[in-house]
Structure 1
C-alpha cells in the first residue's frame, strides 16, 4: 500500500509537470496571436460600371436628359488610411440634342450628336474618416465618404473625327469595406473637358463665341458602382523602408 501511494503521488507530480509545460508552450502562441497586427495593404485594383451624363452646347442644364453608359478600371496606391493616389481609365458614351434646349440657334438649326470618350486620369483622394478595419487605436471606419481631384487627358470620337483635350476631374464618393481586402464604392464625378469637341466638331461654336476656358467647354459626369481588391501586404514591424 505504501508503494502504491508513492506511485500515485509521483503520477500526480508528473501530471502537474506535464500540464505546466503544455501551458507554458501554448501561452506564447496565444499571446502572439492576440497581439498580432492586422494585415494592411499598399495597393488597390478595381473596376466600376454605371451611367454617364453630358453638359455642353447640346445640353446646358440637365445631366439626365441623355444618360449613357460608363465604365472604368482603376489602380490605387494607398498612402495611409486617409490618403491615396489613384490612376483611372474611363470610357463613357455621350449624346445630346439641341432640340431639347429652350434657346433657339441661329437659323433655327437643330444638332444631334453621339460620341465615345476615353479618359486617362491621375487623382488624389482624401477619406473623411480613417478607412479600414482592425487597429482600434486608429478609430478605423468600414464606411467613409471621400473627395477626389486630379488631371487627365481625354479623347472623344464622333462622326469619324477625333479630338484630344486635357481634363480636370472632381469626384465625391462613399466607400465601404466588405472584407479586409474587398471594397465597394459609389462615386459621382464631374469632369471638365478643356475644349469644345467632346460633342463633335459640328457643335464646337453654335453661338459664334470664341472658345475659352470658361465658355464653350464641355463637361461629362459619371455615376459608378465599383468593386476593388487590395494586395501587396504592408510591412508593419520591420527594419526596412516600406
Structure 2
C-alpha cells in the first residue's frame, strides 16, 4: 500500500505542477487489447491474450510535448497446453492475471500538432514514462482455479506489484478543435519476473494445491507436467530473462479544454 501511495502522490504532483503552466488540458479514454512476453511466451511480441481499457489526463505544454497521468487495466494469460513447442506442452503450466497500471508518461509529437489546434491535423508520436502495476497470477487445472502467489511454486515469495517502464508509439488525429482520435502500441518492462508466476527453478519440494471435497484432484502446482520424471529439483522452470514484458494496443478518443491563452504559432 505504501508503494501505491508514493507512486500516485508523486505522479499526481508532477502532473498538477505542469498543468499550472500548461495552456491546454486534455482528457481521454481508450479500449483495446493486451498481451505479454515472458516464460510462457518468450518469442511472439504480438500475442494478444485479453481485453484492455484505460483513461488519461494530459497537459499539453506546446504543440510537440505533453505529459500525462494514465490508468490502464487489462488481462493477460497463456497456456503451455496450446503451445507449438513440445517441451512447453510437457511442462504444462498456465496462468492468467489482471493488470492494473498507473503511470506518468511524456509524449513527443513529430509534427506541429495538438488536439486543440495547430498546423497539422495528425501526427505520429512516441511516448515513455514510469509507473507501477498490480498483478495476481492464477492457474486452472481440472476446472479448479489456484491463486498462485500464495503457493510459493518455486519455493520463494514475491510481491504482487512492480515498477513498470512504459514506452511505445502511435498516431494522433484531430477531428475538431476539441476532439481527437488516437491509436497506439505500448510495451511495458515490468521489474518482476513473476507476472506469470514463473521465473526461476523447480523447488526442492513439490508444491501441491489444496485438496478437499471441492478440490478432489491433488495438483502439483510447481510441476503439473504429465511427465514429471523429465525435471529435477533445481532445473530451470522458465527462461533466463530477468523481467517480464506486457503490452497494450489501444484506440481512443480525447477532449481538449482550450484556455483563452492559446499557443502562438
Please report the TM-score for the alignment, with normalisation by the length of structure 1. 0.71
Distance apart, 1:221 and its partner CA: 1.0
* 5+ long unaligned stretches in structure 1: 1-39, 238-242
Distance 1:170 1:69 in 2: 19
CA displacement at 1:109 relative to structure 2: 2.2
Aligned-pair distance for 1:97? Answer: 1.7
Q: 2 CA distance for matches of 1:102 and 1:230?
A: 48
Deviation at 1:101, TM superposition (A): 5.3
CA shift in 2, pair 1:236/1:71, >3 Å: closer
Q: In the superposition, relative to structure 1, how do residues 234 and 53 fare at CA in structure 2: closer, same or farther (>3 Å)?
A: farther
Whether 2:146 is the aligned partner of 1:167: answer: no
Match of residue 181 from structure 1:
178
Give yes or no for the alignment of 1:124 onto 2:150. Answer: no
Could you say if the C-alpha distance between residues 121 and 133 of structure 1 is closer, same or farther in structure 2, counting changes exceeding 3 Å? closer
Q: C-alpha separation between the residues in 2 aligned to 1:77 and 1:115? A: 32
Q: Compute the displacement of 1:87 (Å).
A: 1.0
Which deviates more from structure 2 when the two are superposed, residues 158-167 or residues 54-63?
158-167
Q: Is the 8 A contact 2:116 2:176 kept in 1?
A: no
Kept after mapping to 1: 8 A contact 2:52/2:75: yes
Partner residue in 2 for 1:193: 190
Does the Cα contact within 8 Å between 1:60 and 1:101 map onto a contact in 2?
A: no
State the match for 1:221 in structure 2: 247
Shift in CA distance, 55/144, structure 1 to aligned 2, threshold 3 Å: same
**1:17 matched residue in structure 2:** none
Superposed CA deviations along residues 161-209 of structure 1, whole A, max 9, x for unmatched, are: 461000010010000000001010000001111101212x3x2325856
Counterpart residue number, 2:199: 204
Q: Could you tell which deviates more after superposition, 110-119 or 64-73?
A: 64-73
**CA distance 1:236–1:94, change in 2 (3 Å):** closer
The 1:41/1:219 distance shift into structure 2, 3 A limit, reads same
Secondary structure of residue in 1 paired with 2:62: coil
Gaps of 5+ in 2: 1-21, 139-146, 150-158, 203-234
C-alpha change, 1:94 and 1:41, in structure 2 (3 Å) is: same
SS at match of 2:136: strand
Provide the secondary structure at the position in 2 that maps to 1:104. helix
Question: Which of 16, 24, 27 is residue 45 of structure 1 equivalent to?
Answer: 27
Greater C-alpha radius of gyration: 1
By how many angstroms is 1:131 displaced?
A: 0.3
Alpha-carbon distance change, 231 to 133 in structure 1, aligned in 2, over 3 angstroms: closer
Q: Which residue among 109, 130, 142 is the counterpart of 1:151? A: 130
Structure 2 residue 62 is the aligned partner of structure 1 residue 80: yes
Count of matched residue positions in the alignment of Structure 1 and Structure 2: 191
1:44–1:75 Cα contact (<8 Å) kept: yes
More helix by share: 1
SS at match of 1:94: strand
Q: Please, what is the CA RMSD of the aligned residues?
A: 2.9
Q: Which stretches of structure 1, 4 residues or more, deviate above 2 A after TM superposition?
A: 63-67, 101-105, 132-135, 158-162, 204-211
